Copies of this chain bind each other. A is one copy, B any other.
Amino acid sequence: MEKDKLAHIRHTLAHLLAQAVKGHYPDAHLTLGPAIDDGFYYDIDFPNEKPGEETLSKIEKTMRKNLPAWKEFTHKEVTKEEADEMFAGNTFKLELINEIRDRGETITVYTCGGFTDLCRGGHVENPAKEIAPDSFKLDRIAGAYWRGDEKNPMLTRIYGLAFESKDKLDAYILQREEAKARDHKKLGKELDLFTFSELVGSGLPLWTPKGTLLRDLLDGFVWELRQKVGYERVDIPHITKKELYEKSGHWDKFKDDLFRITTREGHEFAMKPMNCPHHTQIFARKQWSYREMPERYASTTKVYRDEQSGELAGLSRVRSITQDDAHVFCRTNQVEEEIGKIYDIVKTFYGTFGFTLLPRLSLHDPKNMSAYLGTEDVWLSAEEELRNMIKEKGETPIEVIGEAAFYGPKIDFMAKDSIGREWQVATIQLDSNMPERFDLYCINEEGKQERIVMIHAAIMGSIERFMSVLIEHFAGNFPTWLAPVQVAIVQVRENHADYAKSIESELNKEFIRTEMFDADTSLGKRIHAGKATRAPYVIVLGDKEVTAHTLTVEKRDGTKEEVALDIFIENILKEIKSKS
């Protein structure tokens, strides 16, 4: 089903919901009811009795009962006076009608199944035929201010889910439940990965030892892949004079998102919202010969964006964003090779975690050349280069016309996680704008200045956001190389402490991360606490193990195995090394 069709179904269902609500609550005032990503909602003013969650199934039944009569949508244009009369007493609709009139637009009402609503259209033609009665479901009730403004009255929002079929609806509900169980905010706390402090502020995560370890391992992995293909680390401050962003053009574009500072001497500074302008200043420190190109600079560093409090969510949207950022400064004839290297890193990195990667090629819009820098020839050849490069990797990108940045085409990657959700992850972006603005060049074979290009090449992008995806992807059950606790050691009784400690010390010698569970509680509780770390291996040590000098190792899947220490160490080290 195409995307528009589904949106039309959802919008139609908002009408159907409105009719059902009016049936149960004749005094209710309808306001606005749009389609949304997973269904629809309708914001309704209930002057007297309000429906509770328990009434949703009743309303849903009424919707299903009414649906067969919804055979055809008709619409007509009405005058302002007619509209005012139709919606008399509903101050919300009257406000909307006034606004339509003020914009000089036509006022339309849509009718189906005997129910009429103020509407701009966008429905399916024959709802009874086109909407499966089991493909939607009322979901929940929430409060919502009229038009999202807290100065306005609070309305009741009824959410519904709607998909192409019952199967898709069920799959979505299952995925959502699964996602809820995996919620990174919940798991982050349980696994003690990060915390927030009211004194520090929202959107500013504080990373605990275990969370920091995870971040460092991920960043180390990216660095390992980068180092092999000639990247070097550079280090930059988190602030800059305003002048840098005036020159880069970011000041105009991002002014409102910047944390801005006025120094004691009255100078205007800003915290960096990205790293490229700083990196250009390192490149620009000296003159480069073509023999020295490319230069590849990587920095894992935080950028800051003044997000609105309401937009912040766990690690998915934060104010302090750690980027594993890198920029390649190269000649035009080096672009294909350099982008190819980044492509391989992205594939290897996301592949290691079992994400399915879908590349997307964002192209210029030939009908709108004035929106882009450079001639169409240059664009076509740059795009063809990227296309060939991806094909050589044995992949077929989805091509999206008009999605390129104004200064160059880009490759975006979507990653599908373990419960089927898709996330926009890495982006490889070609940039001829920044080198132009900062006058970056190398001296070529003819001894002349040659304008270079930049490639933006973050792999994780925001480490915070990537961590949120990763935690949910693994439901906290990280592979051994990433697990903050790799081996949980539980001793059965006090007198097994020496053996337990000797085991721990042998593991630690090999840098295997352990946690000892010897608290003064019941054995059951100790084992439970050990497993709660989500360690891939839990070792319970009792008389038998002490006597036989072996280990009983339990994996996450519950399988148990008796094994000698040296074999266990050998296996776990192999597993860590292979990142499996």
Using a CB–CB cutoff of 8 Å, the interface residues on chain A facing chain B are: 192, 195, 197-201, 204-209, 211-213, 215-216, 232-241, 243-244, 247, 256, 259-265, 267, 269, 271, 277-278, 281-282, 284-286, 291, 297, 302, 304, 306, 308-309, 319-320, 322, 519
Judging by beta carbons under 8 Å apart, are B304 and A265 in contact? no
Q: A246: nearest residue on chain B (CB-CB)? A: B199
Is there contact, CB below 8 Å, between B260 and A308? no
Instruction: Identify A302's interface contact among B198, B234, B238, CB under 8 A.
Output: B238
* CB within 8 Å for A306 and B206 given contacts A238-B320, A271-B239: no
Say whether B234 contacts A207, CB under 8 Å: yes
Most buried by B among A206, A284, A309: A206
Main secondary structure of the interface of A (DSSP, over half): mixed
Complex interface: chain B residues within 8 A of A205 (CB): 237
Given contacts A199-B281, A243-B199, contact A319 B259 (CB under 8 A): no
Check A206 against B247 for contact (C-beta < 8 Å).
Answer: no
Contact status A519-B291, CB under 8 Å: yes
Q: Is B235 within 8 A of A199, CB to CB? A: no
Which single member of B233, B236, B278, B302 contacts A237 (CB below 8 Å)? B302
A208-B282, A234-B208 known; A241 vs B297 contact (CB < 8 Å): no
Judging by beta carbons under 8 Å apart, are B209 and A232 in contact? yes
Task: Find out whether the CB atom of A206 lies under 8 angstroms from the CB atom of B282.
Answer: yes
Q: Which residue of B lies closest to A518 (CB)?
A: B291
Contact of A278 among B198, B206, B216, B263 (CB under 8 A): B206
Residue A271 contacts which of B209, B236, B261 (CB distance < 8 angstroms)? B261
Contact status B238-A238, CB under 8 Å: yes
> Nearest-CB distance from A295 to chain B (Å)?
8
List chain B residues, Cβ under 8 A from A198: 243
> How many copies of this chain does one complex carry?
2
A207 smallest CB distance to B (angstroms) = 4
A294 CB to nearest B CB, Å: 13
Partner pick for A241 among B201, B206, B281, B282, CB 8 A cutoff = B201
A373 to chain B, nearest CB (A): 22
Q: Which chain B positions have C-beta within 8 A of A215?
A: 235
Contact, CB under 8 Å: B281 / A200: yes
Residues of B within 8 A of A241 (CB): 199-201
Instruction: Please list the 5 inter-chain residue pairs (A to B) with the smallest Cβ-Cβ separation, ordered nearest first.
Output: A209-B232, A237-B320, A207-B235, A197-B281, A195-B285
Alpha-carbon gap, A34 to B295, bound state (A): 52
The distance from the CB of A183 to the nearest CB of chain B, in whole angstroms, is 18
In the bound complex, CA of A150 to CA of B149 (Å)? 54
Q: Which of B213, B244, B256, B285 contacts A233 (CB 8 A)?
A: B213
Most buried by B among A199, A241, A304: A199
Q: Is A199 within 8 A of B259, CB to CB?
A: no
Pick the residue among B192, B216, B286 that contacts A286 (CB under 8 A): B192
Q: Which residues of B contact A265 (CB under 8 A)?
A: 308-309
Contact B263 A261 (CB under 8 A): no
Smallest CB–CB gap between A234 and chain B, Å? 5
B259 touches A263 (CB 8 A): yes
| Known contacts A197-B284, A241-B199, A235 near B211 by CB under 8 Å | yes
| B residues less than 8 Å from A195 (CB atoms) | 281-282, 285
B259 touches A260 (CB 8 A): no
CB-defined contacts of A262 to chain B, threshold 8 Å: 260
Known pairs A238-B320, A291-B519 / 18 extra A-B pairs, C-beta < 8 Å:
A198-B243, A199-B244, A200-B241, A200-B278, A201-B241, A201-B269, A205-B237, A208-B234, A211-B235, A212-B235, A215-B235, A237-B319, A239-B320, A260-B262, A263-B306, A264-B306, A264-B308, A265-B309
> CA A308 – CA B267 in complex, angstroms?
11
